[in-house]
Structure 1
Amino acid sequence: MKSVLYTNPFVSKKIINQSGEDFNKPAIIIANHTSFLDILAVGMLHPKIIYLVNDWVYKSPIFGKAVQLAGFYPVSEGIDNGLEHLRNKVAQGYSLMAFPEGTRSRTNKIRRFHKGAFYLAEKFNMDIVPVLIHGNSEVLPKGSFVIKNGSITVKILDRISPGN
């Protein structure tokens, strides 16, 4: 998925990737979550990412069809029923993306992590790639529908191997 964030000239976008991560080896990507734009920000990193989302996103009358066509996967009722589907996607070279907080924060403070992403990393013996997103909560705050001028920075941290 090529991010539509690139079409907005009033939002500067910066990716910091000091480790040279290319996502050619599938991983579990985890990131903080403060804005609907977080999905698009992660979409700037690589085209082969399956997003794990809440059912309301998947069934939304506004976003539902688009996220279904993009290959997003609903996990609200647990991940166990989707293991085979997700395993097949990983075998096709897709990374799995989860916001371990489970919902967007209004305060920019990272909330308690749910265990789904870590469960998948263990179950599939995959690396975790932490990603930090900064600026999205100012460009499109939770509850707002107007994108403001601003800047977004996405920082890719070093991979964490299953044995670490």
Structure 2
Amino acid sequence: MILRLLKRIALIIVGPLIFLFVAFVPALCSKRPGFRGWFWRTVSRSCSWLLWFLDVKVDISDAAIQALASDENSVIAVNHRSHLDGFCMLHVIPDEKWVTFGAKKELCRAALLKRGFQGAGLLEIDRDKGKHALESLTDAVRDMPRRRSPILFVEGTRARTPGLPPFKAGAVLIAQATGRSVRPFVIIGADKLLPHGVFWPRAGTIRIEVLDQITPDPAAETDAEVAHLRAAMAKVYDSASGEATSFEDKAA
């Protein structure tokens, strides 16, 4: 209990410094060769430290890590139920795998973060532009190295209902247009530790399952391919979420 208290006090002091570094270093160094690879590895380590301060652990198999290390030419599709999801994702991404996030326009254009996010290569998603936004996002993914994958939340926003809600078609449409596969990630238990409307997470364990790549047929109906992706992720989520437990500190 005392150690947890000390860690949270340290986080209050150190956390803002880490945030400022991650947010602003791209604005200063983004033109240097190899910057983005270095930057995302640094962000990954920062997420690992954050989770350690919060006493949040992530359970993922060695086989899943190995699959990610060799993953190429994919769009990463993730369910989204908690603000912890992005931190957990980056915590488990191995150095061999390059990623970037798709983020809503309002976040990418925030005054204090705009230059940093642009330098880091975040993909801006303008939900108001519909088809034109998707075309812009698709072009950006098409120009990416095979080693780099965009991370897209398939519900479009945080889900608040039990189970997986209907998916947006973006990840599948991009995969169909670019010839990439979809690499599904299923996150279980994050909303138990940090549900909507709660500021400070409980201590516990979050589970991540990495599924085999799914290659949508470019000639198939997109809705059918989206349904296939959702069914594969829902099967794992529904099964695992029934088994997953959030481990509160017994002293809490």
2-structure distance, mates of 1:23, 1:51: 19
Indicate the structure with greater helix content.
Answer: 2
1:73 aligns with 2:117: no
The number of residue pairs the alignment matches comes to 163
The alpha carbon displacement at 1:75 in A equals 1.6
**CA–CA distance in 2 between the matches of 1:81 and 1:56?**
16
Q: One-letter code of the match for 1:120?
A: I
Deviation at residue 63 of structure 1 after TM alignment:
5.9
Task: Verify: 1:54 aligned to 2:101, yes or no.
Answer: no
2:174 matches 1:120: yes
2 CA distance for matches of 1:141 and 1:128? Answer: 27
Which stretch shows the higher mean deviation, 64-73 or 113-122? 64-73
Shift of 1:86: 2.3
Letter in 1 for 2:99: I
Q: Match for 1:35: what amino acid?
A: S
Within the candidate set 193, 205, 216, 1:139 is matched to 193
**Structure 1 unaligned regions, length at least 5:** none
Cα separation, 1, equivalents of 2:101 and 2:137: 13
Contact 1:25 1:93 in 2 (8 A): yes
- Greater strand content: 1
Q: What's the counterpart of residue 101 of structure 1?
A: 155
Q: Does 1:162 align with 2:204?
A: no
Higher relative contact order (CA 8 A, sep 6+): 1
Root mean square deviation, CA, Å: 2.4
Q: Shift of the alpha carbon at 1:146?
A: 1.1
Stretches of structure 2 that go unaligned for 5 or more consecutive residues are 1-39, 218-224, 226-252
SS of 1:79's partner is helix
d(CA) in 2 for partners of 1:139, 1:79: 33
Which secondary structure does the structure 1 equivalent of 2:185 belong to? Answer: strand
Q: Does 1:16 align with 2:58?
A: no
SS in 2 for 1:109: coil
Taking a change above 3 Å as real, the CA distance of residues 61 and 109 of structure 1, as seen in their structure-2 partners, is farther
Q: Is the 8 A contact 1:134 1:154 kept in 2?
A: yes
Structure 2: which amino acid aligns with 1:45?
I
% identical equivalent positions? 23
Tell me how far apart the structure 2 counterparts of residues 129 and 59 of structure 1 sit (CA, whole Å).
28
* Whole-angstrom distance in 2 between the partners of 1:11 and 1:112: 28
TM-score (norm 2): 0.57
Match of 1:111 among 154, 160, 165: 165
> Retained in 1: the 8 A contact 2:103–2:123?
yes
Q: Could you give the per-residue CA deviations for residues 111-133 of structure 1, whole angstroms, max 9, x where no partner exists?
A: 11111111110011111111100
> Residue 28 of structure 1 aligns with which residue?
75
- Report the CA distance shift for 1:37/1:69 in structure 2 as closer, same or farther (over 3 A): farther
**Separation in 2 of the partners of 1:35 and 1:3?**
20
Q: How many angstroms apart in 2 are the aligned matches of 1:39 and 1:3?
A: 13
TM value normalised by structure 1: 0.84
With 103-112 and 149-158 compared, the bigger mean Cα shift is at: 103-112
